[in-house]
Structure 1
C-alpha cells in the first residue's frame, strides 16, 4: 500500500472526487486471461476494464495495452509486490516515500539509485516524476489524488488506475496480479501464480473448516476516542472465518471499517480468546501505554495478542502492507496456526507474531 497512508486503517475516510470522463482506447494487442474473483476489473479480448477506478466512480475506464512499458512509476507498495512476482520490478523508476519499501530486491534498486524517491505520498514531486520520462504511471485514487494525476496525464504520461484496494475479498484483491500481467505481457505468468495461490488458499480453508472449536476474535485498536475494527464483510473478517475462528462482528453487514466506542467493544469482546491486529503497536507494553484499559481484555491477560509486524523493513515499512495482499494464502496459514496450531504443527508464521 501507499506508504503510511494505509497503515492499518488509513483507508477508512474516503473523500469523493469529480470523475474524469470515461476513457477508451480502440486498439490493443489480444489479451488472454480470465477474471474470476475480482469485482472491480475485467479483461476482454483486447481491453482491461476498471469498473470502479476510485470510490464512487460513476463510469468505468477502459485500457487497451499495446507495447509493455519499460519504465514505470507506481504509487502503492502493493503494486511493488505484483511487479516483483512477475519479474518486472527492474522497470520501476520512481516511487513516493521509498522508506516504506520492505522487499530486499526492490530496496537494492532504491539503494543503487535505480528507483527515485518522489517525495511524500500525498504530494509527489511532479517535476521530478516527469523528468524520469516513464512510459506509464500506475496509480490509485482514494478521492484526493485526482488533481495530481490529471497533471501527470496533461504532461503526456499515461496514468492507469488500479483499484485493488476496493476489493472486499482477499482472493479478489490478489487477482489484480492479472491486471499487471496484461499490461506487461505476462498474462500466462500471472495466471499461473494466481492459480497456485488459490489452490493453496482453498486447501488451507478446507483444513480449517474441519475444526470443531471456533475461538472468538477481536481486532483493531483505539484512535482517539474511537475503536476502529473490520466490518463483518471486510476482507479481514473473511480471513478470520476461513481460518476457523469466530470474529465477534462477523454478522455485521459492513464491508469497510467500524467505528465503535471502547465500552461497546469491551462489552462484546472483553472475554475474546484472541486479539489479532494492533496497528503499529508492537508490544503489550506499548498497547498499555496508550490505554491502560486494554489490560482488562482476557486476550491481553493470557498473552494471546498478535500483530502483523514480523517482517519489518530496514527503514520502518511493514511487509504486510506490501506483499500480504498479493499472498492471502500466507495470511490464512498464519491465522490458522495462531487459532489452531495443531493443524500446522511444523509451520512458522510469515507475517504475524505474538506481542511480547
Structure 2
C-alpha cells in the first residue's frame, strides 16, 4: 500500500502542474412543488417552500452498513458516518433541498445543497455506482485516467471528465480547482492521510467515502444509497440494491450447509519482505465465508488492512491454505512469474497446487480493473465466481470471469 501511495503521489505532483479546465455547474431553476410531492426533486430548486411539506417522499435506510445512518426532516436529511476504523471521528452531513432554508448546524455538520449538480471523486469505487444511478454525466473529476467503464472512459478521453490523479486519498488543490459542487474523498484508517479537513479550509464541500472498511459485502453495496442521497435518487438506489441483495442472499444459501470449507488466504506481497492483507473484519473475509470457505484470521478485529514483515509471519497461519485470493495489487501474469518474483511463496500450499486467483480480471491499467471500479455494487457476481472456485459442485463458473482471474500455469 505504501509503495502504491508513493507512486500515485508522484503522479499527483506531476499532474498538479497541468491546468484544470474550469466550467460553471449547470444552472438550477426554481420549480413550484405541490404540498405532497409524488417524488423527490432530482433537478432544480423549490420555488414555493412550505415548512409542513415532506420534500423527500422517496427515502432510503441502511440495513447492512455498519457505518452509515440517515434521518429525514422534511426538507433536509442528516447522514451520520461512523467509521469502522478507529479514527475517533464522527462526521455528519446535512443535505438541504435547494430553495429551502438550512437548519441550525452543529459543530460537526457539513452543509450540502442538493440535488448536487456535478461532483468529483477520489475513490474509483463510486464509478460503477455513478453509472448505475445515471449520474456519470455529472462527473467532473476522477482519480485516474484508467477506468473499466466505457462511458466514463469516453468522457475522460473527450476531456469532459478530468483525471486528477488523487492517489485515492485525494488532491486538495486539484479538487478546489475543479469547482464541482461536491468532492467525495477516500476515507483512510490513518487520520493524517485524510484530506477533508484541508478541503474544508479550501472551501471545498466534501463527503467521506469508506465502502472498503465495511464488514460485510452487502454493507459495502449499500454505499450506492449514500451516493444517491446527494442527488435525491433514493428510489433508484433502493431498487438497484434490493435486486443485488436478493441475488446475493440466494447464492449464499447454496453454501449454508457445506461441510468441507477450504481454507483461503487473502492478500498480496507488497514488497519482497512485506505482506499486506485485509483485517479479519473486512467484507472480503465475509464473502469468503459466504462462498463456503474459511480464513485463518477470524480472530482479528481490524476492518482495514494489515502488513506483516517479515513476510514469513503469515506462514504460521496461511501456509496450508488451499486457495490464495489476491487483491488490490495487480497479480502476476502467470505462475512462473510469481515463483520467480517471490520464491518464498512457493512454500504456500496454494502456489504448489496452482490454486492462485486474483481480483484483477478486466484490467485496463495500473490498479484499474472491473473489481476496483464496479465491485462495490456487484457483490453477487463476485460471490458467484468465488463459489464456483471453492465449490464447483454447487455452481458452474460463468462463461467469462468479471472480477476474479485464475493465475495461469498450474501446479509446481
TM > 0.5 fold call: yes
Q: List alignment gaps of at least 5 residues for structure 1.
A: 8-26
264, 272, 275: which one aligns with 1:217 = 264
Give the alignment's TM-score, normalised by structure 2.
0.73
**Structure 1 position 151, deviation (Å):** 4.9
Q: Is the 8 A contact 2:267 2:277 kept in 1?
A: yes
1:281 aligns with 2:331: yes
1:343 aligns with 2:387: no
- 2: CA distance, partners of 1:231 / 1:131: 36
1:202 aligns with 2:249: yes
- 2: CA distance, partners of 1:152 / 1:105: 28
1:186 aligns with 2:222: no
Higher CA-based Rg: 2
Structure 2 CA distance for partners of 1:297 and 1:183, relative to 1, 3 Å: same
**How much is the aligned-residue C-alpha RMSD, in angstroms?**
2.7
**Structure 1 position 237, deviation (Å):** 1.4
> Structure 1, residues 198-225: CA drift from partner, whole Å, max 9, x if none?
1111111101223232112122233343
277, 287, 297: which one aligns with 1:239 = 287
Q: Is the 8 A contact 1:29 1:64 kept in 2?
A: no
Structure showing greater relative contact order (alpha-carbon pairs closer than 8 Å, 6 or more residues apart): 1
Aligned counterparts, 1:294-333, within 5 A: 294-313=345-364, 317-333=368-384
Aligned counterparts, 1:253-292, within 5 A: 253-260=301-308, 261-277=310-326, 279-282=329-332, 283-292=334-343
68, 91, 100: which one aligns with 1:60 = 91
> Structure 1, residues 64-92: CA drift from partner, whole Å, max 9, x if none?
24231122111110121221110100001
**Structure 1 position 346, deviation (Å):** 5.5
Aligned residue pairs, count: 331
Q: Is the 8 A contact 1:55 1:166 kept in 2?
A: no
Match of 1:101 in 2: 147
**Structure 1 position 129, deviation (Å):** 4.0
- 1: CA distance, partners of 2:237 / 2:391: 31
Q: Which is further off, 132-141 or 198-207?
A: 132-141
Query: SS at 1:289's partner residue?
Result: helix
Query: SS at 2:264's partner residue?
Result: strand
Match of 1:117 in 2: 163
Match of 1:49 in 2: 79
Aligned counterparts, 1:124-203, within 5 A: 124=171, 126=173, 128-142=174-188, 143-146=191-194, 148-203=195-250
Structure 2 CA distance for partners of 1:297 and 1:214, relative to 1, 3 Å: same
Give the alignment's TM-score, normalised by structure 1.
0.83
Q: List alignment gaps of at least 5 residues for structure 2.
A: 8-50, 98-113
Match of 2:122 in 1: 75
Query: SS at 1:343's partner residue?
Result: coil
